[in-house]
Amino acid sequence: MATEILMPALSPTMEEGTLAKWLVKEGDTINSGDIIAEIETDKATMEFEAVDEGVMGKILIEAGTDGVKVNTPIAVLVTEGEEVPTDGAKAETAPAPAALNGEEGKTAAPATAAPVPAAPKADTTPDWPEGTKMKTQTVREALRDAMAEEMRAADEVFVMGEEVAEYQGAYKITQGLLDEFGARRVIDTPITEHGFAGIGVGAAFGGLRPIVEFMTFNFAMQAIDQILNSAAKTLYMSGGQMGCPIVFRGPNGAAARVGAQHSQCYAAWYAQIPGLKVVMPYSAADAKGLLKTAIRDPNPVIFLENEILYGRSFEVPDLEDFTVPFGKAKTWREGTDVTIVSFGIGMTYSLEAAERLAKDGISAEVIDLRTIRPMDTDAILASVMKTNRLVTVEEGYPQGSVGNYITSVVMERAFDYLDAPVINLTGKDVPMPYAANLEKLALVTTDEVVEAVRKVTYR
Amino acid sequence: MATRKPTAKSNVSAEELQSYYRDMLLIRRFEEKAGQLYGMGLIGGFCHLYIGQEAVVVGLEATAKEGDKRITSYRDHGHMLACGMDPKGVMAELTGREGGYSRGKGGSMHMFSKEKHFYGGHGIVGAQVPLGAGLAFSDKYKGNDNVTFTYFGDGAANQGQVYETYNMAMLWDLPVIFVIENNKYAMGTSVQRATKSPSLWERGAAYGIKGEEVDGMDVLAVKAAGEKAVAHCRAGKGPYILEVMTYRYRGHSMSDPAKYRTRDEVQKMRTERDAIEHVRELLLQGKHATEDDLKAIDKEIKAIVNEAAEFSKESPEPALDELWTDIYA
């Protein structure tokens, strides 16, 4: 049976090309893999190989022809002894390619008029039952307990990182874990973030649930490709087959006087990535409850801690298995005049500011996001619809901040409720300086929160 | 590469040789068909063909047992077919259809099969190397004797994370076989233009990892080296490196005119060293098969590939709501 040879597409963008040269003539025997023609694309001259076997029956497009559209028949291949079909008897043609960008695709266009969203309602169920016995713990102890409890519960949970085992953790978060769980499950790595992040992701593909500690999240930049391209995207790229249950955790943001390379908040960076969950606890109870949830989550979780908060003490519920769900903000303080949204160490300044403002008769509602992704936008919107004013507080840089995103959500869904422009308080737009006075200036402060609230409340 | 030495008389059975012939031919015909579908605009984006390198995966798969894992780069179609994934599902992924292994959401470079323990299909050069060591870590942690074949090219062999991984794989005795598929060119850059080290496998010595160079155009040589490496890993002795000397006949991707090498160089490899022709000769000379037997296999393979191509055209594009699924488990 005769087969038409079609003008091939030879690059992702080629639509037409020049049939520069035929390397065979009519009557030649063709084997699959033979180079039969040279075709010029806009970028290069390419060799064109035969796929089917047969005899070159007829060359339809002469050498030297420009502007030959992709999928135009350029020659007819026949079997030995077969006649070239005349116009009447059409040769078998491979079916035309499906319209990949056809009408069907257009039906997905977004509706022009967005439906009016239902008034959001914040989930205000308490994190623990009333009357629960509490104990005082540092954030450091809470994080360790969370890991130890989950490691006791499931053998596939293990922790790896620099100095996590014998040194007991650079910041003593993994203290005691080596003694209890042994070297099989508490693993010291060499200083090789890119490599051990990749090994952790591979181990998660293999059915384990790794906790990968970065000594600080600044060092995770060495491993960013594995976090984004391997951990976050594989579930999607595999059509749902290959999940990556892994926790990347460690201190994030500024500590004190450690300079530009060790002082950066990555919340907004990671929050941008579909496939990741991003957690940033403030209190010890949240550190514990959220880390336990992170370890059980079937997705990659970025768990951003803070060195300054490690030593702070909070009340933690004395429960056998206490967890905090993702995507549920916590309202630390109810108020009526302004909403302050923050997370992590930003909560310190926000709560201090609210205390001071209360003395001046300004009632601030303070919301701790706890998880940046998924984000409890309902809690923010419900609060803004009540207070009509919003200030966001974070330590990261201003451009593309978490606050910027919150502002866009509020603009889209609660614009008419706003009585003042939203203020996004952030760290200053500079690398972190070392000098004590300059570092203080670079960070967001309680004074700035107070001032921003006064601005949006015109008081 | 020198011309092939006559393969030493071995106790290879007719059945075994025929299965290598069939498996390698399937990859070649499948890839030729993929190239054709690309030319017709049915396959888009990047498409990296494996033609010429078939003996590498077929030889190594012959040494694997159930539960062993494999992971590779973006030149991955051959690995998937060799480990038993369905050609229909692979081709339909290439055309971006619902019937593809990733339901059309991964494409040529990103395909997976949990069932066949194929862990991708990775588009970032070298990233699969620590991932492969991680898979091996999971087997060691669980206490079984499975191994992970971690494939990468001569190009990836210059990435830093490869050496971070060598270090940890040896430190922790991970059962991982690092398979360097040295096809002489990292896209358009020959090995000699990328490094002065005389051989890539010898770099493992810096970490105490054993390895060897293998003739990748001889499926029996690949299998023999693979058996040694697998035995080493299963015995708990840690990683092993195989630098498999091979050659890709086609360009780096479909849009590569391959001007960095001569047509003669390619032609010489095809006529003198072709891995499929080699097995064909062994079959005929050893009277393990007749011309007619081989024609029957050719026909059978052609039918499988045509069926895959038809399926990949007929399978519908993914439903539009697929855009929003599989982001979180």
Q: In chain B, what are the domain boundaries?
A: 14-309
The predicted-structure confidence for A348-398, as pLDDT tens digits, reads as follows 999 999 999 999 999 999 999 999 999 999 999 999 999 999 999 999 999
Helix (H, G, I), strand (E, B) or coil at B71: strand
For residue B7, is pLDDT > 50?
yes
Whether B41 and A71 have beta carbons less than 8 Å apart is answered as yes
- According to DSSP, residue A22 is labeled E
Closest partner residue to B39 among A9, A187, A199, by Cβ?
A9
- Nearest 10 degrees: CA dihedral of A438, A444, A450, A451? 60
Which residue in this structure is represented by tokens 């059509």?
Answer: A239
The predicted-structure confidence for A249-305, as pLDDT tens digits, reads as follows 999 999 989 999 999 999 999 999 999 999 999 999 999 999 999 999 999 999 999
For residue B41, is pLDDT > 50?
yes
Whether A235 and A242 have beta carbons less than 8 Å apart is answered as yes
Has the ipTM of the complex gone over 0.85?
A: yes
Per-residue pLDDT, B231: 98
Whether B117 and B83 have beta carbons less than 8 Å apart is answered as yes
Give B 256-315 residues with CB within 8 A of chain A. 257-259, 263, 270, 313
Instruction: Give the pLDDT mean for B50-60.
Output: 98
Q: What residue ranges in A301-386 does DSSP mark as E strands?
A: 301-305, 313-317, 330-333, 338-342, 364-368, 371-373
Contact at CB, A199 and B317, closer than 8 angstroms: no
Per-residue pLDDT, A208: 98
Confidence of residue B62 (pLDDT cuts 50, 70, 90): very high
Those residues whose C-beta lies under 8 Å from the C-beta of residue A35, and which sit 6 or more positions away, are A23, A47, A48, A49, A50, B263
Which residue in this structure is represented by tokens 């450091």?
Answer: A140
Comparing alpha-carbon positions, the chain A residue that sits nearest to B256 is A46
Per-residue pLDDT, A86: 63
Helix (H, G, I), strand (E, B) or coil at A159: strand
Comparing alpha-carbon positions, the chain B residue that sits nearest to A239 is B102
For residue A87, is pLDDT > 90?
no
Handedness of CA A290, A292, A298, A304 (dihedral sign): positive
Exposed, middle or buried by CB within 10 Å (0-12, 13-18, 19+), for A188?
middle
Whether A276 and A247 have beta carbons less than 8 Å apart is answered as no
Type of residue found at A166: E
Closest partner residue to A206 among B36, B135, B320, by Cβ?
B135
- Residues B76, B80: Cα–Cα separation, whole Å: 6
Classify each residue of B215-224 as buried b or exposed e, where b means 16 or more C-beta atoms within 10 Å of its C-beta.
bbbbbbbbbb
Which of A240, A245, A351 minimizes the C-alpha distance to A295? Answer: A245
Q: Per the residue annotation, which of A262, A305, A365, A394 is the catalytic one?
A: A262
More confident residue, B178 or A96: B178
Contact at CB, B41 and A97, closer than 8 angstroms: yes
Closest partner residue to A237 among B105, B136, B313, by Cβ?
B105
Residues in chain B with CB shorter than 8 Å from the CB of A7 are: 39
**Domains of chain A and any CATH numbers:** 3-88 (2.40.50.100), 134-317 (3.40.50.970), 330-457 (3.40.50.920)
For residue A442, is pLDDT > 70?
yes
Whether B169 and B176 have beta carbons less than 8 Å apart is answered as yes
Per-residue pLDDT, B5: 54
Provide the percentage of residues in chain A whose pLDDT is more than 90: 81
Handedness of CA B201, B205, B211, B214 (dihedral sign): positive
Comparing alpha-carbon positions, the chain A residue that sits nearest to B163 is A195
Per-residue pLDDT, A117: 59
- Residues B220, A124: Cα–Cα separation, whole Å: 67
Confidence of residue A116 (pLDDT cuts 50, 70, 90): low
Residue A73: is the preceding peptide bond cis (ω within 30°)? no
Whether A369 and A375 have beta carbons less than 8 Å apart is answered as yes
* Side-chain half-sphere exposure of A318, counting CA atoms within 13 A: 7
What count of CB pairs under 8 Å joins A to B?
217
The predicted-structure confidence for B122-169, as pLDDT tens digits, reads as follows 999 999 999 999 999 999 999 999 999 999 999 999 999 999 999 999
Q: Per the residue annotation, which of A141, A149, A193, A305 is the catalytic one?
A: A193
CATH of B14-309, one of 1.10.3720.10, 1.20.120.140, 1.20.58.760, 3.40.50.970: 3.40.50.970
- Residues A177, A166: Cα–Cα separation, whole Å: 9
> Could you give phi then psi for residue A330, rounded to 5 degrees?
-120, 125
Cα A401 to Cα A273, A423, B43: the distances in Å are 14, 12, 39
Contact at CB, B127 and A32, closer than 8 angstroms: no
Cα B290 to Cα B17, B21, B272, B274, B297: the distances in Å are 13, 13, 22, 20, 11
Q: What average pLDDT is seen over chain A?
A: 92
Confidence of residue A80 (pLDDT cuts 50, 70, 90): confident
> Could you give phi then psi for residue A94, rounded to 5 degrees?
-65, 145
Closest partner residue to B119 among A71, A205, A226, by Cβ?
A205
Give B 45-64 residues with CB within 8 A of chain A. 45-46
The verdict on B121 touching A (C-beta cutoff 8 Å) is yes
Per-residue pLDDT, A457: 97
Residues in chain B with CB shorter than 8 Å from the CB of A225 are: 124, 127
Closest partner residue to A6 among B39, B137, B323, by Cβ?
B39
The verdict on B105 touching A (C-beta cutoff 8 Å) is yes
A401: left (phi over 0), alpha (psi -120 to 50) or beta: beta
* Catalytic residue status for A194: no
Contact at CB, B120 and A238, closer than 8 angstroms: yes
Whether A307 and A251 have beta carbons less than 8 Å apart is answered as yes
Give B 136-155 residues with CB within 8 A of chain A. 136-139, 141-142
Residues in chain B with CB shorter than 8 Å from the CB of A190 are: 164, 167-168, 171
Per-residue pLDDT, A83: 75
Distance from CA of B252 to the nearest CA of A (A): 12
Contact at CB, A46 and B123, closer than 8 angstroms: no
* Side-chain half-sphere exposure of B144, counting CA atoms within 13 A: 14
Residues in chain A with CB shorter than 8 Å from the CB of B316 are: none
DSSP per-residue string spanning B146-189: --EEEEEETTGGGSHHHHHHHHHHHHTT--EEEEEEE-SEETTE
Helix (H, G, I), strand (E, B) or coil at A250: strand
Residues in chain A with CB shorter than 8 Å from the CB of B251 are: 46
**Residues paired with B177 in a beta bridge:** B149, B240
Contact at CB, A190 and B132, closer than 8 angstroms: no
For residue B249, is pLDDT > 70?
yes
Handedness of CA B43, B48, B54, B59 (dihedral sign): negative
Per-residue pLDDT, B118: 98
Comparing alpha-carbon positions, the chain A residue that sits nearest to B123 is A229
For residue A99, is pLDDT > 70?
no
Closest partner residue to A198 among B39, B134, B329, by Cβ?
B134
The verdict on B132 touching A (C-beta cutoff 8 Å) is yes
Distance from CA of A327 to the nearest CA of B (A): 14
Residues in chain A with CB shorter than 8 Å from the CB of B39 are: 6-10, 70
Comparing alpha-carbon positions, the chain B residue that sits nearest to A300 is B328
For residue A84, is pLDDT > 80?
no
Distance from CA of A276 to the nearest CA of B (A): 8
Confidence of residue A115 (pLDDT cuts 50, 70, 90): low
For residue B4, is pLDDT > 90?
no
Instruction: Give the pLDDT mean for B83-99.
Output: 98
- Residues A12, B47: Cα–Cα separation, whole Å: 9
- Residues B221, B27: Cα–Cα separation, whole Å: 19
Handedness of CA A153, A155, A156, A160 (dihedral sign): positive
Q: What average pLDDT is seen over chain B?
A: 95
Exposed, middle or buried by CB within 10 Å (0-12, 13-18, 19+), for B80?
buried
Classify each residue of A372-410 as buried b or exposed e, where b means 16 or more C-beta atoms within 10 Å of its C-beta.
bbebbbbbbbbbbbbbbbbbbbbbbbeeebbbbbbbeeb
Residues in chain B with CB shorter than 8 Å from the CB of A35 are: 263
For residue A88, is pLDDT > 50?
no
A451 alpha carbon, distance to own chain's centre: 33
**Relative orientation angle of helices B291-314 and B14-39, to the nearest 10 degrees:** 40
Comparing alpha-carbon positions, the chain A residue that sits nearest to B302 is A52
Contact at CB, A198 and B165, closer than 8 angstroms: yes
Least confident of A204-213, B94-103, B193-202, B272-281: B193-202
Distance from CA of B236 to the nearest CA of A (A): 15
**Cβ atoms within 10 Å, residue A360:** 10
Provide the percentage of residues in chain B whose pLDDT is more than 70: 97
Residues in chain B with CB shorter than 8 Å from the CB of A74 are: none
B219: left (phi over 0), alpha (psi -120 to 50) or beta: alpha
Which of A10, A22, A89, A82 minimizes the C-alpha distance to A46? Answer: A10
Contact at CB, A240 and B138, closer than 8 angstroms: no
Confidence of residue B11 (pLDDT cuts 50, 70, 90): confident
Type of residue found at B218: D
More confident residue, A308 or B198: A308
- Helix (H) or strand (E) holding A39, with range, is strand A35-40
* Catalytic residue status for A193: yes
Per-residue pLDDT, A53: 85
For residue A103, is pLDDT > 70?
no
